[in-house]
């Protein structure tokens, strides 16, 4: 039964939106997964999608799927570029991974308008400004 399944709690894994570069015309943004653990994670599967309301209408982006075979301890990997126009939507990243034979999963959601300068930190390991969810 479900009550018999172990409660594998995700710790020390983050998803971050980082400002990569800036010109007069535009900004370049990337989404990263950051492994803050002292051990690697394997078979990382990530789905991403955006949803919400824009100009009074419901909007959904395509669901994208990403696979990363291994993320070393205290390392990060690029998930995808992200368009600034989606910052007004909820941007969801569902992350699943293995440590040994145990599976872990967690949903990370950047709420609408949460990717703003006021929420910027210096992202650990990535060393760029951005917004991170642990």
For residue 82, which of 94, 70, 90 has the smallest C-alpha distance?
90
pLDDT at 11: 95
Residue 9 CA to residue 84 CA, distance in Å, equals: 31
Q: Tell me the C-alpha distance between 113 and 123, whole Å.
A: 19
Domains of the chain, residue spans = 15-47+57-67+74-89
- For the chain, the distance separating the N- and C-terminal CA atoms, rounded to the nearest angstrom, is 29
Mean pLDDT of the region 108-132: 96
Q: Is the pTM of this model over 0.95?
A: no
Q: What is the reported pLDDT for 52? A: 95
Q: How confident is the model at residue 2 (pLDDT cuts 50, 70, 90)?
A: low
User: Quick one: tokens of 17?
Assistant: 């939106």
pLDDT tens for residues 50-106? Answer: 999 988 899 999 999 999 999 999 999 999 999 999 999 999 999 999 999 999 999
């Amino acid at each position: 039964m479900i009550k018999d399944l172990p409660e594998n709690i995700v710790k020390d894994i983050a998803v971050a939106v980082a400002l990569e570069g800036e010109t007069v015309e535009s900004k370049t943004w990337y989404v990263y997964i950051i492994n803050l653990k002292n051990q690697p994670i394997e078979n990382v599967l990530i789905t991403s999608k955006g949803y919400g309301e824009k100009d009074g209408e419901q909007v959904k982006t395509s669901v994208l799927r990403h696979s990363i075979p291994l993320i070393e301890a205290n390392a990060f990997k690029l998930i995808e570029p992200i368009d600034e126009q989606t910052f007004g939507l909820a941007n969801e990243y569902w992350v699943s991974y293995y440590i040994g034979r145990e599976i872990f999963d967690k949903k990370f959601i950047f709420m609408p308008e949460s990717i703003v300068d006021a929420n910027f930190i210096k992202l650990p390991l990535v060393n760029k400004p951005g917004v991170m969810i642990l």
